[in-house]
Amino acid sequence: MIDIQNQADTRDVPLQKVGVKGLRYPVQVLDKTFKTQQTSGVVDLFVNLPRHFKGTHMSRFIEIFHKYHKNVSMKQFLAMLDEIRRRLDAECAFGTLAFPFFMEKQAPVSRQPGMMSYECTYEGIVSAESSRFYVSVAVPVATLCPCSKAISTRGAHNQRGIVRVTLQSTVFFWIEDIIAVVEQAASAGLYSVLKRSDEKFVTEQAYDNPRFVEDVVREVYIALRNFRCGGDAVRHEAGKSAEISGDTFSVPATGAGVPFRWFSVEAENFESIHNHNAYAYTEYSGQE
């Protein structure tokens, strides 16, 4: 049967990315409490296409992802991309996997448990020489406006906001620890179940901790710059390698430097007094 994709192309236009988008798949990711967690993901997979090829063979992306979907730790995700790159004879493979990450969280006073959901994305870029891996986590929080509190004789407007952190790391870290960093930087964290004693607690906590989107972004930035893997953070011995769900990860020495080569922090508030949102964004790239 004729292989049209494999024919030569004479138009002399290389393509940076060719592939598949919006593939929905059940996926299994790592979980600090239960080792693994089953969730549902949306996958995009690409390779670059040199100028002399007419097309790529899109079925191969899915054949390869299918083999990996039952274990998509960060490490396996890069291995999957590398297999795509080699199988499709490409210089570079790219992929993203977006999924809701679930975590049980207790109310602050009553200790009632409820599940929280955090939108996460893996992004990987793999060539023969190197690879990069990014994780982003979107954490919903409450923010209370410092200006509104300062100028009003009673009350202060507050609202739900989303803080999205994107991290480039070569060492292992838990998504759960990033969520904790973000929640501590907001006026208050969110919960699925809040009894009245809890509602009083978070209302007063938010009133006592007013934060602009600018403040939230700066507080998360500082906390991530000071973030140290090892010890509690990974529940594994610092400076050694750790085996998690069949993979071996290196755990940085306690007190080692910033474990992230690059990160960005953005906060978006669904303002309670406007029908538009307030937004702030910053990046860390090693140099300050």
For the segment 32-91, give every residue that binds its own copies (CB under 8 A): 37-40, 44, 46, 49, 54-56, 58-59, 62-63, 66, 69
Determine, following the binding rule CB under 8 A, whether residue 262 of this chain makes contact with its own copies: no
Cβ 206 to its own copies, closest distance in Å?
A: 7
Is the Cβ of residue 38 or residue 170 nearer to its own copies in the bound state? Answer: 38
Is the Cβ of residue 99 or residue 172 nearer to its own copies in the bound state? Answer: 99
Q: How far is Cα 195 from Cα 242, in angstroms, rounded to an integer?
A: 39
Q: Which of 74, 78, 144, 234 binds its own copies (CB under 8 A)?
A: 144
Under 8 Å CB-to-CB from 75, ≥6 apart: which residues?
247, 249
The burial class, CB within 10 Å (0-12 / 13-18 / 19+), for 146 is middle
Q: How far is Cα 228 from Cα 254, in angstroms, rounded to an integer?
A: 7
Is the Cβ of residue 123 or residue 251 nearer to its own copies in the bound state? Answer: 123
Is the Cβ of residue 82 or residue 214 nearer to its own copies in the bound state? Answer: 214
Under 8 Å CB-to-CB from 8, ≥6 apart: which residues?
52, 53, 54
- Contact string (CB under 8 A) for its own copies, positions 227-256, x = contact: ------------------------------
The burial class, CB within 10 Å (0-12 / 13-18 / 19+), for 234 is buried
Instruction: Tell me how many degrees the CA angle 184-185-191 measures, rounded to the nearest 5.
Output: 50
Determine, following the binding rule CB under 8 A, whether residue 8 of this chain makes contact with its own copies: no
Determine, following the binding rule CB under 8 A, whether residue 159 of this chain makes contact with its own copies: yes
Q: Which of 217, 233, 238, 251 binds its own copies (CB under 8 A)?
A: 217
Q: Which of 8, 24, 129, 243 binds its own copies (CB under 8 A)?
A: 24
Q: Determine the 3-state secondary structure of 240 from DSSP.
A: coil
Look at residues 173, 177, 206, 172 and name the one whose alpha carbon lies nearest to residue 189.
206
> Given the DSSP bridges, would you call strands 131-144 and 113-127 parallel, antiparallel or unpaired?
antiparallel
Determine, following the binding rule CB under 8 A, whether residue 14 of this chain makes contact with its own copies: yes
Determine, following the binding rule CB under 8 A, whether residue 204 of this chain makes contact with its own copies: yes
Is the Cβ of residue 170 or residue 197 nearer to its own copies in the bound state? Answer: 197
